[in-house]
Amino acid sequence: MQRLPLHYIKPGMKTYEEVVDSQGRVLCGKGIELTEEMLKRFQELGVSYISVEGTPVKLPWEKTLETELSELEKRFENVTDETLLQIKEIIRELLLQKFSNKG
């Protein structure tokens, strides 16, 4: 699953979950292949983000789990304070969970 701003979405991508407008109305179900016309309509109705199947777009700023974890270690290098180390552990859990969802 990948959540993307509307202007990243291309016809042919499949919805991963329902598309809703800014007022919460459902515009399109899940598992639907998107067409040019649908995207145009979403634009008019003020849809900002859509979740699509797979990871069709490579975002140049996205890091791998390995990079994220090693940068985390670096940021907390030489830290011994117990509270800070617990915060570091929270971020580690967050990263692990985030990447397992992507899976």
d(CA 55, CA 101): 12
Asked if residues 25 and 38 have their Cβ atoms less than 8 Å apart, the reply is no
Cα distances (angstroms) measured from residue 43 to each of 5, 23, 36:
11, 14, 11
The greatest distance separating any two alpha carbons of the chain, rounded to the nearest whole angstrom, comes to: 57
The verdict on 80 binding another protein (CB under 8 A) reads no
Smallest gap from Cβ 74 to another protein, in A, equals 8
d(CA 26, CA 73): 43
Residues of span 9-68 touching another protein by CB under 8 A: 22-24, 46, 48-49, 59, 61, 68
Q: Which of 27, 28, 88, 99 binds another protein (CB under 8 A)?
A: 88
Q: Which of 30, 40, 75, 102 binds another protein (CB under 8 A)?
A: 75
Which residues here bind another protein, judged by CB under 8 A? 3, 5, 22-24, 46, 48-49, 59, 61, 68, 71-72, 74-79, 81, 83-84, 86-88, 90-91, 93-94, 98
